[in-house]
Structure formats: structure tokens, C-alpha cells
């Protein structure tokens, strides 16, 4: 049975209201019971992501977890992955790679560091390295879990705990931490001794690809270190919301080629 047959927007909204005020573990336990192996946690190894892995693994160690190895991640991310694999025995962590043909065409046409030239080129890189692998993966599940919170960024203030993801075939998207604050997440991490990304200790507050992420100064917004050279551009990569691409669809189409949906 597909997610579409299970829920419509109204039912997802009602469930979301029901879960309001409940703990993240309540959402996770319900989701695991409901979707089983057609459910997966998406992680970019931020603080909320590792807290969710810890919570979900305690409920069901066979929970599927996936992340996207963009090819430009910092070494510290791989160190954390090894730590998680040690801590959570048998953790089903899948690392997704960009499509080789698409990546080859991207780099051939625009070079490896295209993201520094314009917002459009940065979004092109994020699309090939992140959005396309995510889209391919989500075509095979009924529901996914994210660590998104309302307190993270202006574009996230309205997220609900249960949504239908119309950008990905109307599967169910669950945001169990929507209501939590950053402090609550870190309290959970400390209380449960959850491994965290080593770059937090170096002043990073949001972590992505190595060339596109830097530490932030005290008082700067949490996501200020992402694509810090851009002004008036969304601090998003297109994984969690459609982004107006500024008219480079033709170029994107040329790069994706026949492999757009493989
Ligand atoms: S964060 Fe930077 S390197 Fe990573 S996919 Fe986006 S533009 Fe490319």
C-alpha cells in the first residue's frame, strides 16, 4: 500500500495536530509501527539527526538510516560515521552517491568549484550532488524522517510533525523534532552520550559540504556559515523545499540527461 493510499493532506494534518505536544519518541514509535521497512531516517549528521538516530535505534535497531555522500564532505563527517557504526551495532546506514554520469557532466561543463560563481551555479551543484540522489532514494520508500525544527531558519517556522511530501511523490515526511528547541536537542545528546559531529567543537553550528560551510561568530545566525558568501539567497539546498532556480533549468536538464530518473 502506498503512502497516497494511506493519507491525504487532511489526515496528515490531523495526525500532526494529534502529535503536537508529544515527545519525538512517540512520533518515531508510531512511524516505525506504521511504515516498518518502508521508512527511513535522513541524516546530514547535524545535532538533531544524531539524536533521532539514538531515539529510533532504541525503539527498533533495524531502523533504516541514509545520508548523501556528496563527494565534498569534510573528513570529520566520516569520522562521525565510524563512531556511529561502532556505537549502534548493526546500524543500517546507507550512504548515497550522486549519479556518476551527471557528476561528470557537471564538472566537465562548470568545473569543481562552480558554487562560488553564482547562486544558480551553487543550486546546480546541490541539485546534482544532493537533490537527485535524494529523489532517487525517496522513490523507494513510503515515509522519511528528518531532524528539521521550527527554530532553525525562517523557512522552517511552519513545518509540521506529519506532512505529505508533494515534492517526492506525496510520501509521508515526519519531523519529530519540529517542536523542540536547539537546547532541548543538546540536553538529550548530553544525557544520552550521543556521538556528535567533531566540527561543533570548532565553532560550526550547521554542517554541510566542506567548501560551503564555515564556523560562525558568536551572535551570528546558526546557518550563517552555510554558503556565507551569498547574500539574499535561501540557506537551503533544495532537499527540503523546492527552490526557484533562477532560470537555469535548461542547463540542469542538459546535465541530468537521460539519467534524470534512474
Ligand atoms: S553544499 Fe556546496 S559542494 Fe555541496 S552540493 Fe551544495 S554547492 Fe555543492
Region for 246 from its dihedrals, namely left if φ exceeds 0, alpha if ψ lies in -120 to 50, beta otherwise: left
**209 CA to middle of ligand 1, Å?**
6
Q: Given the CA of residue 129, which atom of ligand 1 is nearest to it?
A: 5
Pocket test for ligand 1, best of 73, 237, 248 (most atoms within 8 A of CB): 237
Give CA–CA dist 131/68, Å, rounded.
Answer: 9
Give CA–CA dist 123/252, Å, rounded.
Answer: 10
- Sheet of strand 143-145, all strands in order from the earlier edge strand to the far edge: 92-96, 64-68, 39-42, 143-145, 171-174, 162-165
Protein fold of 3-256: Rossmann fold (3.40.50)
Nearest residue (CA) to ligand 1, atom 2: 212
Give CA–CA dist 92/32, Å, rounded.
Answer: 14
Residues in contact with ligand 1 by the CB-under-6-Å rule are: 70, 72, 115, 122, 125-126, 129-130, 208-209, 211-212, 237
Please state whether beta strands 162-165 and 171-174 pair in parallel, antiparallel, or not at all (unpaired): antiparallel
**73 CA to middle of ligand 1, Å?**
9
Please state whether beta strands 171-174 and 39-42 pair in parallel, antiparallel, or not at all (unpaired): unpaired
Q: Given the CA of residue 125, which atom of ligand 1 is nearest to it?
A: 8
Q: Given the CA of residue 72, which atom of ligand 1 is nearest to it?
A: 3
Torsion of CA 207, 208, 214, 218, to 10 degrees: -30
Q: How many CA atoms within 13 Å lie on the side-chain side of 99?
A: 21
Give the residue extent of every domain in the chain: 3-256
Per the CB < 8 A criterion, the answer to whether 253 and 106 are in contact is: no
Residue positions annotated with a catalytic role: 237
Give CA–CA dist 10/96, Å, rounded.
Answer: 32
**20 CA to middle of ligand 1, Å?**
34
Give CA–CA dist 63/161, Å, rounded.
Answer: 19
Per-residue pLDDT of the chain (262 residues; tens, 9 = 90+): 444 456 788 899 999 999 999 999 999 999 999 999 999 999 999 999 999 999 999 999 999 999 999 999 999 999 999 999 999 999 999 999 999 999 999 999 999 999 999 888 999 999 999 999 999 999 999 999 999 999 877 666 789 999 999 999 999 999 999 999 999 999 999 999 999 999 999 999 889 999 999 998 888 887 788 888 787 777 666 677 666 665 677 788 888 887 655 4
Amino acid at each position: 500500500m502506498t503512502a497516497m493510499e494511506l493519507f491525504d493532506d487532511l489526515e496528515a494534518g490531523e495526525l500532526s495536530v494529534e502529535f503536537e505536544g508529544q515527545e519525538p519518541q512517540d512520533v518515531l514509535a508510531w512511524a516505525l509501527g506504521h511504515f516498518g521497512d518502508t521508512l527511513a531516517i535522513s541524516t546530514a549528521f547535524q545535532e538533531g539527526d544524531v539524536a533521532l538516530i539514538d531515539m529510533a535505534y532504541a525503539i527498533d535497531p533495524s531502523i533504516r538510516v541514509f545520508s548523501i555522500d556528496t563527494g565534498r564532505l569534510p573528513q570529520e563527517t566520516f569520522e562521525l560515521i565510524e563512531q556511529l557504526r561502532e556505537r549502534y551495532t548493526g546500524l543500517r546506514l546507507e550512504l548515497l552517491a550522486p549519479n556518476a554520469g551527471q557528476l561528470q557532466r557537471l564538472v566537465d561543463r562548470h568545473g569543481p568549484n562552480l558554487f562560488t560563481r553564482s547562486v544558480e551555479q551553487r543550486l546546480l551543484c546541490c541539485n546534482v550532488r544532493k537533490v537527485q540522489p535524494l529523489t532517487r532514494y525517496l522513490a523507494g520508500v513510503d515515509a522519511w524522517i528528518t531532524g528539521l525544527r521550527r527554530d532553525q531558519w525562517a523557512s522552517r517556522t511552519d513545518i509540521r510533525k506529519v506532512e505529505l511530501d508533494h515534492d517526492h511523490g506525496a510520501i509521508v515526511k515526519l519531523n519529530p523534532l519540529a517542536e523542540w528547541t536547539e537546547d532541548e536537542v543538546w540536553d538529550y545528546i548530553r544525557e544520552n552520550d550521543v556521538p556528535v559531529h567533531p566540527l561543533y567543537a570548532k565553532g560550526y553550528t550547521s554542517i554541510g559540504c566542506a567548501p560551503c560551510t564555515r564556523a560562525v561568530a558568536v551572535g551570528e545566525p546558526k546557518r550563517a556559515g552555510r554558503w556565507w558568501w551569498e547574500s539574499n539567497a535561501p540557506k537551503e539546498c533544495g532537499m527540503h523545499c523546492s527552490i526557484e532556480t533562477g532560470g537555469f533549468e535548461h542547463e540542469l536538464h542538459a546535465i541530468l540527461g537521460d539519467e534524470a530518473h534512474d
